[in-house]
Structure formats: structure tokens, C-alpha cells
């Protein structure tokens, strides 16, 4: 049983409360510390005990981490935490969002992000390389961020930019986007265990550039957010990005389990609330706080199950549709097209071709 002390708690994290490893906190502050900033005062203002934080087994609740993130950004007018040659002035995240939100697809949005970041963050280059089955999100240095590739400032710079782009991409398309694997361009850090919660369970270390692998068809997903949604999203930004689309979102996990157990029967918000002994309003609010909704969970679960069954079984498409709770195959076809941009028959054919 962990004990909370001064805003930090011993590892492992409590299941009901998402937390981050101390290494992410020290990484965030490493650029400022190298410039002589009194970081202990910043930590104290966010209710984090600096002495406890030096213990690598301690953790910080993600809400406190997000508060520190926003506090640093506003205090120093730098969304890049002093890690780069030039500061990223407050508002950079907002205009990165605005540069992406008018895109037709995720691929176009990421290409726009790369062009925008080339202007405001010339230290790094962001590009998408698409193959027939797999795509790469590649982030490389245009100038060496630090002489030592394992310098905490360089490590956190890559952690931060991938978290930013991945979290924002998930929000734009309204669903979690699985990263199949990521190679990070430094040695394995002490807090790398948390990478499974934040990025992927398949992390590798070494090389000269960060390379994140994802299914190529995810790039065809449409952008589902509009200006009204962006206004709400920016409340609490940019620090809130740290809490979104993590794998330890407790309410999302519990609701997903309930929906999965009920398939192919439909599940309403009232059904979920009754199972959890909560009000419907409480379930809705807590899902919103974790960046999700019942509809998004249902959609993501059906999508993941459909992709897995198409890839790993010879089950008829009509049977897959029925087992996932769709009233008829045509409704399933439309849903699948919205997820991938192609029909389920085409998806199965392309997988077969890639294997042959």
C-alpha cells in the first residue's frame, strides 16, 4: 500500500489515481535548472516535496504534474521548458491545434504540424513516412540538443514532443491511437516502465532519431473536432495533454470492461452507472475528465475487436457485425469505413497481400 507524502507517493501507483514517475518531473525542470532557476520553489508551489522527489521510486499524481506543467509554461512564457535554442512562447500549443484542426485526415493534420513546428521549433524535424501497412512518425534533431544523448534535457525533449503529437492526434480523431512500437534515441531511462502507460508496451532504445510505428490506415481517419470543441479543449491546456489517452484511465477501463462483457447486447449510460453504483451524471463527468465518453469507448472497442477478428480469423464479415452488436452488415460496413477509410473486405485482402 503506497503512502502519499507531500504530493508524491510511493510506487506502484494506486489503481484509482493516475500518476507519473519522478523522472518526468525532473526532466520537465531540467532545462530550467541548467539555467539557474530555483526549481524547488516551483515544486513546492505545486505541492511536490523536492526531497521525496529525488527518490526514484516516488510518483506524482497526474493532476499535480499537469498543474506544474502549466505553472512552468506561464511563469517563464515557454512551452518548451527551456529545452531548446529559442523559447516556445505561450500560445504555441493553441496555434499548433489550430494549424491541425481544419485538416481532412490525420495524415494531413500531422503534415501541417510538421510544417508549423519547423517554424517555431527548428531544432527538431517531424515527418510522416507511410508504407502499405505501417507508417512511421519520425522525429529527428536538426541540431544536437545536447552533447550527451542521455542528457535529461534531451530525453525529456523527445518524451515531450511525442506525447504532445500523439495525445493531440488522439484527441483530433476522437479515439486512442495505438503505437505499435517506438524507438527512442537514447539509452533506457530509469522511468521507462511508465512508457507502457503513456506510449506503448513495445519501446526500444538507441539510434539517432525517434521512430514511432502505427498502422498506416490510421492516417486516413477523419478529424472529428471543430472550433467549439477546441475552445473547451484549450481549458487547462497545454498541461492537460499529460492526462489524456493514458492506459491507466480507471473509469475508461471499467466502462470498457462492462461494455465488452455485454456484447453483442447494447449498453446504455444508465446500464453502466447501475453496474458501478454511480449516477449517470457522475460516470459522464469522470469519463470526460479522462478525455473519453461512452460512445467513444464503444466505438474504439468495436473497432479493435473488428480489426483483430479480420486479421486473425476467417469469420464471415456478417458474423463479425452481429457479434459486435450491429443490427445489420451495412451498418458495420459504414462504421468500418469511418475507422479506416476502406471496406472490411479490402482490409482483409490487403493484410493477406502483405503476408504473402
Phi, psi of 125 (to 5 degrees): -115, 130
Closest CA to 117 of 167, 153, 80: 80
Q: What is the pLDDT of residue 291?
A: 66
The pLDDT score that the predictor gives to residue 17 is 58
Q: Give the torsion sign (CA, 131, 221, 258, 19).
A: positive
pLDDT of residue 246: 66
pLDDT of the residue at 135: 95
pLDDT in tens, 60-117: 888 888 889 999 999 999 999 999 999 999 999 999 999 999 999 999 999 999 999 9
Q: 169: closest CA among 107, 235, 123?
A: 107
- The per-residue pLDDT for 95 is 95
Domains located in the chain, CATH noted? 4-220 (no CATH), 249-355 (1.10.10.60)
d(CA 308, CA 101): 30
Give me the half-sphere count of Cα atoms (radius 13 Å) on the Cβ side of residue 56: 6
Instruction: Tell which phi-psi region holds residue 355, choosing left (phi > 0), alpha (psi between -120 and 50) or beta.
Output: alpha
- Cα distances from 224 to residues 175, 186, 281, 297, 335, in angstroms, run 10, 35, 24, 15, 14
- pLDDT 10s digits, 13-52: 334 457 888 899 999 999 999 999 989 888 988 888 887 6
Name residues whose C-beta falls within 8 Å of residue 317's C-beta, 6 or more positions apart in sequence. Answer: 310, 329, 332, 344, 345
Quote the pLDDT of residue 145: 96
Are the beta carbons of 209 and 187 closer than 8 angstroms?
no
| Helices 92-101/106-120 angle, 10° precision | 150
pLDDT of residue 86: 95
Q: How many Å apart are CA 295 and CA 271, to the nearest integer?
A: 13
| Residue reference for cell 532504445 | 205
Residues of the chain with pLDDT under 50: 1-16
Q: Confirm if 267 and 127 have CB atoms less than 8 A apart.
A: no
Amino acid at each position: 500500500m503506497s503512502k502519499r507524502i507531500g504530493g508524491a507517493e510511493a510506487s506502484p501507483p494506486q489503481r484509482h489515481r493516475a500518476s507519473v514517475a519522478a523522472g518526468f518531473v525532473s526532466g520537465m525542470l531540467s532545462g530550467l535548472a541548467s539555467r539557474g532557476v530555483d526549481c524547488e520553489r516551483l515544486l513546492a508551489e505545486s505541492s511536490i516535496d523536492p526531497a521525496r522527489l529525488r527518490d526514484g521510486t516516488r510518483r506524482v499524481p497526474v493532476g499535480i504534474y499537469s498543474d506544474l506543467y502549466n505553472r512552468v509554461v506561464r511563469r517563464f512564457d515557454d512551452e518548451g521548458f527551456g529545452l531548446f535554442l529559442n523559447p516556445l512562447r505561450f500560445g504555441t500549443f493553441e496555434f499548433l491545434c489550430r494549424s491541425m484542426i481544419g485538416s481532412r485526415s490525420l495524415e494531413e493534420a500531422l503534415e501541417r504540424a510538421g510544417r508549423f513546428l519547423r517554424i517555431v521549433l527548428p531544432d527538431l524535424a517531424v515527418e510522416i513516412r507511410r508504407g502499405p501497412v505501417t507508417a512511421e512518425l519520425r522525429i529527428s534533431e536538426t541540431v544536437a540538443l545536447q552533447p550527451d544523448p542521455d542528457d535529461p534535457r534531451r530525453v525529456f525533449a523527445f518524451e515531450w514532443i511525442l506525447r504532445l503529437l500523439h495525445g493531440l492526434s488522439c484527441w483530433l480523431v476522437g479515439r486512442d491511437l495505438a503505437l505499435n512500437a517506438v524507438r527512442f534515441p537514447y539509452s533506457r531511462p530509469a522511468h521507462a516502465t511508465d512508457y507502457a502507460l503513456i506510449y506503448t508496451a513495445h519501446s526500444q532504445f538507441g539510434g539517432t532519431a525517434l521512430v514511432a510505428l502505427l498502422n498506416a490506415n490510421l492516417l486516413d481517419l477523419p478529424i472529428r473536432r471543430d472550433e467549439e470543441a477546441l475552445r473547451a479543449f484549450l481549458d487547462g491546456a497545454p498541461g492537460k495533454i499529460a492526462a489524456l489517452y493514458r492506459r491507466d484511465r480507471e473509469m475508461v477501463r471499467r466502462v470498457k470492461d462492462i461494455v465488452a462483457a455485454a456484447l453483442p447486447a447494447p449498453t446504455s449510460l444508465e446500464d453502466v452507472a447501475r453496474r458501478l453504483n454511480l449516477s449517470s451524471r457522475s460516470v459522464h463527468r469522470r469519463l470526460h475528465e479522462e478525455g473519453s465518453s461512452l460512445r467513444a469507448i464503444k466505438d474504439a472497442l468495436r473497432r479493435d475487436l473488428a480489426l483483430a477478428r479480420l486479421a486473425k480469423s476467417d469469420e464471415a464479415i456478417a458474423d463479425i457485425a452481429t457479434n459486435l452488436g450491429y443490427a445489420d452488415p451495412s451498418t458495420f460496413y459504414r462504421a468500418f469505413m469511418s475507422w479506416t477509410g476502406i471496406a472490411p473486405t479490402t482490409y482483409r485482402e490487403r493484410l493477406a497481400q502483405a503476408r504473402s
